[in-house]
Structure 1
Amino acid sequence: MQTQQLLQGNFRITILRYISLNVVSMIGLSLYILADTFFVANGVGSNGIVALNIALPAYSFVNGVGLLLGMGAATRFSIAIGEGQQERGSRIFTQAAGLGACATAVFTLIGICFSQPIVELLGASGEIIPLAKEYLQTTLCFSGAFIFNDLLICFVRNDKKPHLSTAAMLTASMSNILLDYIFVFPLGMGMFGAAFATGIAPLLSLCVLSTHFFKKHNHFRLVRCHPRWGEIHPLLLAGVPSFVNEFSSGVVLLLFNKIILALAGNTGVGAYGIITNIALVFLALFNGIGQGIQPLASLCYGAGEHKKIRQILRYGWGIAVVFGSLFYLSGLLFPEQMTAAFNKDGGMELTRIAVDGIRIYFIAFFMMGLNIVSASLFACVAQPRQAALLSVLRGFGAVIPLVLLLSSLFGLTGVWMTIPAAEALTLLLNLCFLAFYFRRKNALPNR
């Protein structure tokens, strides 16, 4: 009954409500790392930024696993609810929670035993090693909080409570900023303090999300069941785009760090750290649009509402274009101000490299949102291959060969050109996939 009311009301308002709440949520999530970058830059210095940038790929992988399970399982949960199969939805949640527990054990063990070899493998050397190790080890010990927070946020949002998931993420973000300040400045805890604040934040978010289990309209719970590959496999496939979006940022970060280190040294890596952490906030907004359409698109697919799926895509794309244009203009007009917030020492070379990079890198935002929204839509309508191909291409499939080629031809400028070029190639494939999908769906009846 609730599903029919959701789909039959003022659907435009419903779409905008889900998107806006999830955009706010994802901006809050992105402030986790941005706050760390700001406080580390001003409390530890440029070496802290380099260490943070080196440790971030591992954090991206942990968060990627959380989104793989959360987005994948929640997508299949919404399809099951749309088909009227609530018990299957609870089994899907239970399977995802079991996988999350296994992943938590692995990441915690790795954090305790192998943090130093990992940061050395990622490129840390000299005085950067202890700083990067401290941040990575602390973060991995909180891996369970990140994974289960991602899982519950996705399920609560898909259980028609987007406002609760938004409240939880904002609670985590605001507490992280406050604790970052307290731990790094008054208490002088440095890199450990920044990582500790980041780890505590999702625990507070989980406290907010747990209230959903005490409400009578909760449609999922832990149930006794055996692992079923027939349910695990689809949820993993549906979560691949979210995992690739998150994890690929870590892979790209690692590769760019190594190339920039050879071209411009630690100053170049520090400049890239500023660029990529600002870009993470904008990327989070696009991910918020993609995640905002996911519950509705999955429900529409389960209920056979094909025309509403087209409407969802149209609104998602329109919002992505507006924000993409605003992001590019902000980079074009205010790159010095953006850089200054993370440049405690006022280094002129750091500022010059970062400003040049922002003006080129931010061209990607015209196309990035369109690709992310489309990949999310394909995952929601049981088209996992198209979703995965778009995510892999824009994530690292096009990025890796392009950065190697362009950096060899144009040096540091070629590095900044890589992401816009990769997004442009992905958009071409995206348009082909969409044309084929909607041409095929036009032949089907709509409810």
Structure 2
Amino acid sequence: MENTNIKQTFFKYVTHNVLGMIGLSCYILADTFFIARGVGANGLTALNLAIPIYSFIHGTGLMIGMGGATRFAISKSKTVFTQAFYYVLIMASIFVSIGILLSGGLANLLGANADTYQMATTYLQVILCFSPMFMLNNLVICFVRNDDNPKLAMNAMLIGSFSNIILDYVFVFPLKMGMFGAALATGIAPIISLLILSMHFIKKRNSFQLYRLRPQPRTYLDISLIGVSSLVTELSSGIVIIVFNSIILRIKGNLGVAAYGIIANIALVVISIFIGIAQGVQPILSKNYGEQNKQNVKKVLNYGIVTVVTFALIIYGFFFLFSEPIVGVFNKEHDRELARIAVQGLRIYFTSFLFAGINILCCTYFSSIDKLRNAFIISILRGFIFIIPLAMILSSMYGMIGVWLTMTLTEFLVLILTVVLLKNINRRN
């Protein structure tokens, strides 16, 4: 990664990873579309109640994958992948046990009622039982990307996503499998993605592999510390959905939660673009940081910020102009109140992405250069500390408009701190 090639390298990694992450995020968006059309508003509500658990599974896989792959890129340790693999197996066994034994109680805890309990329980059970596949997929994608093969990582994510869309259609409509079919399609998709990723090993392009080693809890801690910001980013989206669901149920009932379900699931795809940019620059940042090439590190961060801001402006303009037809795609019953709530929400909620994109990028930047405390501060503030009290305060003052404004105000406040942390880093360098 010479200075003259750093821009080309940046666009190669970011382009591949953004496309791949959009594909990965479409796992749930596809479920949203097919459940909305094939099951109806109650199915959409049940899905939205269950999504935080998917976010937690996905986030745990990303924490281990990003943490392990970042350490691999900086230190070139050959044992990191094996320890990360063990870590995934331990965490996945916990999720599977919860899925088999506690899905019903979990659905109740998440707010399911008589109309949504069975559908939410079914979706949770299937997703939790397939958690090993989701987590292994995230782990291998992160390592393959850091092993100089971002194109294969992208292809695996895209093919997995397309297979999910096809299987969603087949299971929900011709086979009429409802919520179970949608969840099953989502669970099969990472298996297909892993089959694509296996080409990295078959063609012997890999510089990492499994070794016979004893588990090392100290390595798990190191992986967790590096990757925790990825977990908090994903987990926070789940926590936000839980908090918002609770508040919206009180203000607008199941119809309001269904409207928020549309917004939340579209938002997951948009956020995946910013996560894709951030994860795309991570291998470049980590390698150049490990080689003490501070000039390239600064260049990559600047390219990332420009890219994030550009995407954010384009995305907001698109969703502002086309919010009504977009909502209409998910509104099977053509419910006017559902459409009104969702359109208003899209136009306000999506103003947050300009600030959120920069925060996500800078959080990954700090993790990639071993400034773990800074990354953790940003992720915890935007994921929990600011957003939960703001949601309660603003919703009590302004109702649904207050709910939609919460994300924007949270991300703006966090951005102020992010700028301060960046200036401190630049001053020391």
- Quote the Cα distance in structure 2 between the aligned partners of 1:60 and 1:195: 14
Q: Secondary structure at the match of 1:10?
A: helix
Q: Secondary structure at the match of 2:198?
A: helix
Structure 2 residues not aligned, in runs of 5+? none
**1:100–1:147 CA contact under 8 A, matched in 2:** yes
Q: Deviations over 1:162-185 (max 9, x none)?
A: 000001001100000000000000
105, 111, 130: which one aligns with 2:118:
130
1:336 aligned partner: 324
1:40 aligned partner: 35
1:68 paired with 2:63, answer: yes
**AA of the residue aligned to 2:266:** I
- Quote the Cα distance in structure 2 between the aligned partners of 1:187 and 1:226: 46
Decide which moves more: 392-401 or 67-76: 392-401
- Quote the Cα distance in structure 2 between the aligned partners of 1:256 and 1:137: 23
273, 276, 286: which one aligns with 2:261:
273
Q: CA deviation at 1:9?
A: 5.3
How many residues end up aligned between the 2 structures? 429
Q: CA deviation at 1:226?
A: 2.5
3, 11, 16: which one aligns with 2:6:
11
- Quote the Cα distance in structure 2 between the aligned partners of 1:262 and 1:154: 40
1:417 paired with 2:429, answer: no
1:400 paired with 2:388, answer: yes
Q: CA deviation at 1:12?
A: 0.6
Q: CA deviation at 1:103?
A: 1.1
Q: CA deviation at 1:331?
A: 2.4
Q: Secondary structure at the match of 1:341?
A: helix
1:320 aligned partner: 308
- Quote the Cα distance in structure 2 between the aligned partners of 1:188 and 1:170: 25
Q: Deviations over 1:43-93 (max 9, x none)?
A: 000000000000111111111110010011001000013xxxxxx2x2111
- Quote the Cα distance in structure 2 between the aligned partners of 1:375 and 1:308: 18
TM-score scaled to structure 1, two decimals? Answer: 0.95
**1:92–1:232 CA contact under 8 A, matched in 2:** no
2:183 aligned partner: 195
1:360 paired with 2:355, answer: no
Query: Are residues 306 and 230 of structure 1, via their aligned partners in 2, closer, same or farther at CA, if it must alter by over 3 Å?
Result: farther
2:107 aligned partner: 119
1:84 aligned partner: none
1:23 paired with 2:22, answer: no
Q: CA deviation at 1:402?
A: 0.5
Matches within 5 A, 1:9-408: 10-81=5-76, 88=77, 90-408=78-396
**AA of the residue aligned to 2:244:** F
Q: Deviations over 1:265-288 (max 9, x none)?
A: 111101100111111111000000
**AA of the residue aligned to 2:55:** S
TM-score scaled to structure 2, two decimals? Answer: 0.99
The percentage of aligned residue pairs carrying the same residue is: 49
Q: Secondary structure at the match of 1:308?
A: helix
- Quote the Cα distance in structure 2 between the aligned partners of 1:153 and 1:14: 18
- Quote the Cα distance in structure 2 between the aligned partners of 1:9 and 1:167: 27
Structure 1 residues not aligned, in runs of 5+? 1-5, 82-87, 442-447
CA RMSD of superposed structures (Å): 1.0
**AA of the residue aligned to 1:21:** H
- Quote the Cα distance in structure 2 between the aligned partners of 1:260 and 1:143: 29
Q: CA deviation at 1:225?
A: 2.2
**1:7–1:300 CA contact under 8 A, matched in 2:** no
Q: CA deviation at 1:100?
A: 0.4
Q: Secondary structure at the match of 2:330?
A: coil
**AA of the residue aligned to 2:404:** W
Q: Deviations over 1:339-374 (max 9, x none)?
A: 101000000000111111111101101111111000
Q: Deviations over 1:130-170 (max 9, x none)?
A: 00011110111100000000000000000000000001001
- Quote the Cα distance in structure 1 between the aligned partners of 2:308 and 2:232: 20
**1:93–1:220 CA contact under 8 A, matched in 2:** yes
Q: CA deviation at 1:224?
A: 2.2
1:431 paired with 2:426, answer: no
